[in-house]
Chain A
Amino acid sequence: MHAEIEKEIRQVINNKRRVLTNEADLASYSYDASFGVFPPDVVVQPTSTNEVVGIVKVANKHKTPIYPRGKGTSLSGGPLPVHGGIVLDFSKWTDTLIIEPDDLVAIVSPGVITADINKMANKFGLMYPPDPSSSHVSTIGGNLSENAGGPRGLKYGVTKDYVLGLEVVTADGEVIQTGGRTVKNVTGYDLTKLIVGSEGTLGIITKAILQLIPKPQSTGTLMVLFDDLFIAGKAISSILTGGILPSKLEIMDQASVVAVEQFDPLGLPTDIEALLLIELDGHPAAIEAEAKRVKEICLEIGAIKVKTAETKEEEAELWKARKLVSPAIVRKKPTKISEDATVPRSRIPEMFQRLKEIRDKYNIDLVVFGHAGDGNLHPNIIADKRNIEEMKRVEKAVEEIFKAALEMGGTLSGEHGIGMMKTPFMEMELGTTGLYMMKRIKEAWDPHNLLNPGKMFPDPGQRFALTNE
Chain B
Amino acid sequence: MSKSYRLAYEETFACVQCGYCLPKCPTYETTGVETQSPRGRINLVKLLAEEKISIDSAASSIELCLGCRACETACPTNVQYGTILQSAKELITKEMPSSKMELLLLEKGLPNKKWQKAAGRGLEIAQKTGMVSLARKAGIMRVFPESIQAMESIAPMIKMPKKKERKYRVLPPIGKKTYTVGFFVGCIMDMMFSKINDDSMKLLQLAGYEVTLIEEQTCCGALLHHSGKKRETIALAKKNIAVFEKYDFDFIINSIGGCGAMLVEYPELFDEHSEWHSRAEKFALRCKDISVLLAESSLPFTKEIRKVVAYQPSCHLRHVQKVIDEPHQLIKKIPGIDYRTFEKQDMCCGSAGIYNVVHYNEAMEVLDQKMTHIEKVEPDIIVTSNPGCHLQMKLGVEREGKTEKIKVVHIVELLAEACEIY
Contact = CB atoms under 8 A, between A and B. Distances in A.
Interface of A: 17, 20, 22-25, 27-29, 31-33, 45, 71-73, 89, 91-92, 113, 134, 136-138, 323, 326-327, 330-331, 334-336, 384-386
Given A24-B44, A327-B77, A137 B32 contact: no
Contacts of A384: 13
B44 A25 contact: no
Given A28-B43, A326-B77, A137 B34 contact: no
Contacts of B337: none
B82 interface: no
Given A23-B54, A28-B61, 12 more contacts: A24-B60, A27-B43, A27-B44, A27-B47, A27-B52, A27-B53, A72-B17, A73-B19, A92-B32, A323-B76, A327-B77, A331-B78
B58 interface: yes
Interface in B278-304: none
24 contacts: A17-B31, A17-B33, A20-B35, A23-B53, A23-B54, A24-B53, A27-B35, A27-B47, A28-B33, A29-B34, A31-B43, A32-B17, A33-B16, A71-B22, A72-B17, A72-B34, A73-B18, A137-B20, A137-B22, A326-B77, A330-B16, A334-B13, A335-B13, A385-B13
Contact of B33 (A20, A137, A385): A20
Nearest to A32: B17
Contacts of A22: 57
A353 to B, nearest CB: 28
Interface in B227-275: none
A24 B35 contact: yes
Nearest to A116: B23
B32 A91 contact: yes
Contacts of B78: 327, 331
Contacts of A134: 18-20
Contact of A137 (B16, B23, B44, B53): B23
B19 A71 contact: yes
A247 to B, nearest CB: 23
A213 B230 CA distance: 56
B14 A334 contact: yes
Contacts of A23: 53-54, 57
Most A-side CB within 10 Å, residue of B23, B33, B47: B33
B18 A33 contact: yes
A335 B47 CA distance: 17
Contacts of B19: 33, 71-73, 134, 137-138
Contacts of B54: 23
Interface in B10-51: 13-14, 16-20, 22-23, 31-35, 37, 40, 43-44, 47
**Most chain-B CB neighbours within 10 Å: which of A20, A92, A334?**
A334
Contacts of B61: 24, 28
Interface in B382-404: none
Contacts of A73: 18-19
Contacts of A71: 19, 22
Interface residues of B, number: 30
Contact of B40 (A28, A33, A385): A28
B57 A24 contact: yes
A32 B47 CA distance: 15
Contact of A28 (B20, B35, B52): B35
Query: Which 10 residue pairs are nearest across A and B when measured between Cβ atoms?
Result: A327-B76, A334-B13, A28-B34, A28-B35, A28-B40, A23-B57, A92-B32, A24-B57, A137-B19, A73-B19
Interface string B78-111: 1000000000000000000000000000000000
Given A23-B57, A24-B57, A326-B76, A31 B22 contact: no
A45 B76 CA distance: 28
A92 B18 CA distance: 19
Contacts of B32: 45, 91-92
Contacts of B16: 33, 330, 334-336
B215 to A, nearest CB: 43
A126 to B, nearest CB: 21
B23 A25 contact: no
A302 B88 CA distance: 55
Contact of B17 (A29, A33, A138, A326): A33
Contacts of A25: 33-35
A331 B34 CA distance: 25
A428 to B, nearest CB: 27
A31 B33 CA distance: 14
A136 B17 contact: no
B326 to A, nearest CB: 19
Nearest to A87: B34
Nearest to B15: A334
B88 to A, nearest CB: 12
Nearest to B59: A24
B126 to A, nearest CB: 40
A31 B35 contact: no
A73 B61 CA distance: 21
Contacts of B43: 27-28, 31
A335 B15 CA distance: 9
Nearest to B11: A334
B57 A330 contact: no
Contact of A24 (B20, B22, B58): B58
A330 B76 CA distance: 10
Nearest to A31: B17
A193 B32 CA distance: 30
Nearest to B40: A28
Most chain-B Cβ atoms within 10 A of its Cβ — which of A28, A29, A336, A386?
A28
A31 B54 CA distance: 19
A134 B22 CA distance: 11
A227 to B, nearest CB: 29
B37 to A, nearest CB: 8
Contacts of B76: 323, 326-327
Of listed A23, A91, A136, A384, residue having the most chain B CB within 10 A: A23
A326 B78 CA distance: 11
Most chain A C-beta atoms within 10 Å of own C-beta, residue among B57, B58, B60, B75: B57
Contacts of B14: 330, 334
Contacts of B17: 31-33, 72
Contacts of A386: 13
Contacts of A28: 33-35, 37, 40, 43-44, 61
Nearest to B35: A28
- Chain A CB within 10 A, most for which of B18, B52, B57: B18
A89 B35 CA distance: 13
A212 B75 CA distance: 31
A330 B77 contact: yes
B29 to A, nearest CB: 11
A24 to B, nearest CB: 5
Nearest to A323: B76
Contacts of B37: 28
A321 B40 CA distance: 29
A113 B23 contact: yes
A89 B14 CA distance: 25
A244 to B, nearest CB: 31
A20 B40 CA distance: 14
A51 B54 CA distance: 32
B84 to A, nearest CB: 13
A24 B52 CA distance: 10
A204 to B, nearest CB: 19
Interface string B154-197: 00000000000000000000000000000000000000000000
